Structure 1
Amino acid sequence: MAHHRSTDGRGSVRGRGVSRGLVGSLLAIVLVAAVVVVWVQLGDRIDRQGEQAAANCVEGTATVPIVADPDIADALGTIAEAYAETGPVVRDHCVVVEVRPGDAKVTLDGLAGTWDPAALGARPAAWVPQSSIWAADLVSARPDVVDGQPPSLVSSPVVLATAPRLAEAFDDDLEWQQLPTLQQRDAALGAFGLGSWGSIRLAMPVGAQSDATALAAQAVAMQVTRTMGPLTEQDADSPRVSSSIEAMQSGAPQSPDGTPVGAARTIADAADPAESPIHAVAITEQALYQLTRTDTTPRLAEVIPGGPTPIADYPIIRLTGDDVAVEQTDAVADFFEFVRQPEHLAGLTALGFRGDAPLPEPTETVGFPTTEDPMPQPETAATVTINRLVYGPDSGPPSAG
């Protein structure tokens, strides 16, 4: 059936009217939507301007000097170049990280006393020495210049480098606490079937990069005091510790250049191992690996004495003070976060350092065994005490006063 529209008397069609309220609501919705769109576009524009300002380094360039142990400095410098390629920007500063090698004792003296830029270069924003023996000395002398507890970047166990024949004679039956006695007795190696070799002739180098000497002394101290936890100041101050370290130092053969590597070369180059002026030296596994990695016939052996194994921990000492700008502090954190990424850390572990990246293949000398019993970090005061026993009472930094 067809439907017809009704009309009024004037013939006009009567339809539904549109509510004025509905029209107003629609207009309000449109207006709000327009405001939201404009606001979002404005926010995006502000963000883009902020990103552009940051990318343009509106605050200029921030140079971040870092002093590192010579064993690790070149590799860190290579990683710093890769970091620069990412265009790092911190607090609106373009960041340039400059890594340079530095002698630990010289660096410590400068940081604990008055830093001389003319002689030492720009004051660093961070320092990566071979081990925490230097962090302890710096914290003891100038706690105000160290920013927090230094974390370890990579590590390397301390071992003994010996002639292969001597390592065979030890047959995993040597402990750290035996070193003082083996050093003092003329025919001490007779207990291992090598009576003609004399004493252990343990070198105790105290020159550049000789952290292994102090770390080995810490291991001896732990065993002779029967310390179960971290070595304490009271332990380190005990007569047994001082007499043990004195016994190792008394009559110790001299390294040609004052370093563990120099002593290890003397052992490796000896025509007759029994007649070598040096039979053993404490050294980092990493340094031993670098010294022997191309050897096809072993000239040296890696001996790991029983007991807690001391570790060279390569701490990241973040520095603070009036000479370190806030953007440098932040850039140090950002850079070492970059370094710790496995693809970059691999550049360090490839050199024999231990970290969260693959190690090199074992060699004729270095097998990179698992460290079953790592030595706990001693108390700061204990480390400083052992340092003085090893390096002498005048070897520390100037006092803070």
Structure 2
Amino acid sequence: MAHHRVADGKNSLRRRGVSRGLVFMLLAVLLVASGVVVWFQVGDHVGREGDAAAATCVEGPATVAIIADPDIAEGLSAIAKSYAETRPVIRDHCITIAVRPGDAKITLDGLTGNWDPQANGQYPAAWIPQSSVWAADLVTAKPSVVDGTPESLVTSPVVLATSPELGAQLTGKLDWAQLPTLARRDDSLTEFGLRGWGSLRMAMPTGAQSDASALAAQAVAMRITRTTGVLTAADASSKGVAAGIGALTEAAPRSPDGTPVGAATAIADAADAADAKAAPIHAVPITEQRLFQLTKADTTAKLAEVLPSGPTPLADYPFLKLTGDQVPEYAATAVADFFRFAEEPDHLAVLTALGFRGAAPMPPKTATVTFPVTPNPMASPETAAVVDINRLVFGPTS
């Protein structure tokens, strides 16, 4: 029988183990993986330390001032309170936005001259006047203090406040272009079936918050010049525009307190809307938002809202971001961040609830203000045109 030889196990059987190369490779992978874990842990720790440092306001608290038209200041203050609840930290400052109402003329004078903090308060990082009537004056007088192109959060159309009797006759029949003739010609309201009413007695206030007077004059200028696009400086400086606006301002009865609200209140309180002594004012340009606030509690209409045909002028409440030595970088960044915050629908609703128009729900209609669709909003005129119209309405600047 043949036999196979069995070899000695010590000599013929080789031990099968893991190769040294594979071991080194596994060790390298483990080292890299542990290094990555440590790296992320360190990065996360550094990130948490950075967040903690920011949360403690390394540079301390800072109050950033915004001056706003009195009509919008209250709503913006409420939005600023909500903004503060988010605990904003900008450039290592804990930010508080302080909105305060301010007279436009005083603010303009301060921004174009020497700002007096004792009289005017903290220098603002932003200004929100009632309309671009003031923005145009600021950009013309001192463009270096305005940062970028102003934007608007909300708007309000300019309408005419009249007695309900007059409003019923004018609605749907009145054009902006007719106003100078109706103010100048004797017994002009007979054209609307109103015998014994005389000429249109339309106030053109020039006191506080009287932007509507200048905005209405812009609409008149557009119709006089038959402008279909943007009102230009050439349009505004034409003889026809000067004559038309001159007819309005020269024939205008005085508002009791120099404001649109004072004139509208006089209309509402008149015992006889047709009688010249009892009712020296027939109509006054006013923002729809202000008319809403004035009449929202009325269960029976004491005033009417008349929207003449033609392009409708808008009070646009421009958000003017200011710049210069008195506006620190953190303040400029803060007002830009606050503007974005205020644009959010939930926050913008605070303003539209007050009667402003914007991308949020409007309040319910009232006996006077129904918030009608504005089919033809007026395009913003050239800056020089705005300034020219301002001078015709308000007179030369001091």
TM-score relative to the length of structure 1: 0.95
Whole-Å separation in 2 of the counterparts to 1:171 and 1:214: 22
- List aligned pairs for 1:194-209, cutoff 5 A: 194-209=194-209
Q: Residue type of the partner of 2:140? A: S
Give the SS at the match of 1:297: coil
Q: Residue type of the partner of 1:67? A: I
Whole-Å separation in 2 of the counterparts to 1:170 and 1:89: 54
Whole-Å separation in 1 of the counterparts to 2:8 and 2:318: 97
* 8 Å Cα contact 2:171/2:308 also seen in 1: no
The alignment status of 1:189 with 2:192, answered yes or no, reads no
- List aligned pairs for 1:273-352, cutoff 5 A: 273-275=273-275, 276-352=279-355
Give the SS at the match of 1:115: coil
* 8 Å Cα contact 2:171/2:306 also seen in 1: no
Offset at 1:186?
Answer: 2.2
Offset at 1:11?
Answer: 8.5
The alignment status of 1:139 with 2:139, answered yes or no, reads yes
Q: Which moved more, 1:210-219 or 1:337-346?
A: 337-346
Give the SS at the match of 1:195: coil
- List aligned pairs for 1:142-181, cutoff 5 A: 142-181=142-181
* 8 Å Cα contact 1:349/1:355 also seen in 2: yes
Q: What is aligned with 2:368?
A: 365
Whole-Å separation in 1 of the counterparts to 2:380 and 2:262: 27
* 8 Å Cα contact 1:219/1:308 also seen in 2: yes
Offset at 1:171?
Answer: 3.6
Aligned residues: 390
Q: Residue type of the partner of 2:128? A: V
1:305-357 CA distance string (max 9 Å, x none): 01000000000000000000110011001111111111111111001000111
Give the SS at the match of 1:73: helix
Whole-Å separation in 2 of the counterparts to 1:228 and 1:8: 111
* 8 Å Cα contact 1:7/1:14 also seen in 2: no
The alignment status of 1:230 with 2:233, answered yes or no, reads no
Whole-Å separation in 2 of the counterparts to 1:9 and 1:115: 103
* 8 Å Cα contact 2:298/2:367 also seen in 1: yes
Cα-Cα RMSD: 1.2
Offset at 1:193?
Answer: 0.7
Off by >6 Å, runs of 4+ in structure 1? none
Q: What is aligned with 1:64?
A: 64
Give the SS at the match of 1:202: coil
Give the SS at the match of 1:44: helix
Whole-Å separation in 2 of the counterparts to 1:286 and 1:148: 27
1:53-99 CA distance string (max 9 Å, x none): 11111111121100000001111111111111110111111001000
TM-score relative to the length of structure 2: 0.96
Whole-Å separation in 1 of the counterparts to 2:31 and 2:227: 77
* 8 Å Cα contact 2:171/2:307 also seen in 1: no
Offset at 1:167?
Answer: 1.1
Q: Residue type of the partner of 1:79? A: I
Whole-Å separation in 2 of the counterparts to 1:326 and 1:8: 88
Q: What is aligned with 1:399?
A: none
Give the SS at the match of 2:80: helix
Percent identity, aligned pairs only? 65
1:215-271 CA distance string (max 9 Å, x none): 000000000011111100000000001111110011311001100010000000001
The alignment status of 1:216 with 2:211, answered yes or no, reads no
Whole-Å separation in 2 of the counterparts to 1:9 and 1:202: 122
* 8 Å Cα contact 1:57/1:92 also seen in 2: yes
The alignment status of 1:93 with 2:125, answered yes or no, reads no
Q: What is aligned with 2:386?
A: 383
Whole-Å separation in 2 of the counterparts to 1:129 and 1:18: 81
Whole-Å separation in 2 of the counterparts to 1:8 and 1:20: 27
Q: Residue type of the partner of 2:260? A: P
Q: What is aligned with 2:115?
A: 115
Whole-Å separation in 1 of the counterparts to 2:12 and 2:55: 69
Offset at 1:17?
Answer: 2.5
Q: What is aligned with 1:398?
A: none
Q: What is aligned with 2:127?
A: 127
Q: Residue type of the partner of 1:337? A: R
Offset at 1:135?
Answer: 0.4
* 8 Å Cα contact 1:8/1:14 also seen in 2: no
Whole-Å separation in 2 of the counterparts to 1:306 and 1:214: 17
1:259-312 CA distance string (max 9 Å, x none): 001000000000111121000000000000001111111100000001000000
Unaligned runs of 5+ in 2: 1-5
Whole-Å separation in 2 of the counterparts to 1:381 and 1:171: 32
Give the SS at the match of 2:318: coil
Q: Which moved more, 1:53-62 or 1:369-378?
A: 53-62
Q: Residue type of the partner of 1:251? A: A
Question: Judging changes above 3 Å, is the alpha-carbon distance between structure 1 residues 50 and 7 closer, same or farther for their aligned structure 2 residues?
Answer: farther
Q: What is aligned with 2:3?
A: none
Q: What is aligned with 2:106?
A: 106
1:142-169 CA distance string (max 9 Å, x none): 0000001100111000000001111111
Whole-Å separation in 1 of the counterparts to 2:196 and 2:14: 127
- List aligned pairs for 1:13-32, cutoff 5 A: 14-32=14-32
1:162-193 CA distance string (max 9 Å, x none): 01111111141100010000001120101001
Question: Judging changes above 3 Å, is the alpha-carbon distance between structure 1 residues 338 and 294 closer, same or farther for their aligned structure 2 residues?
Answer: same
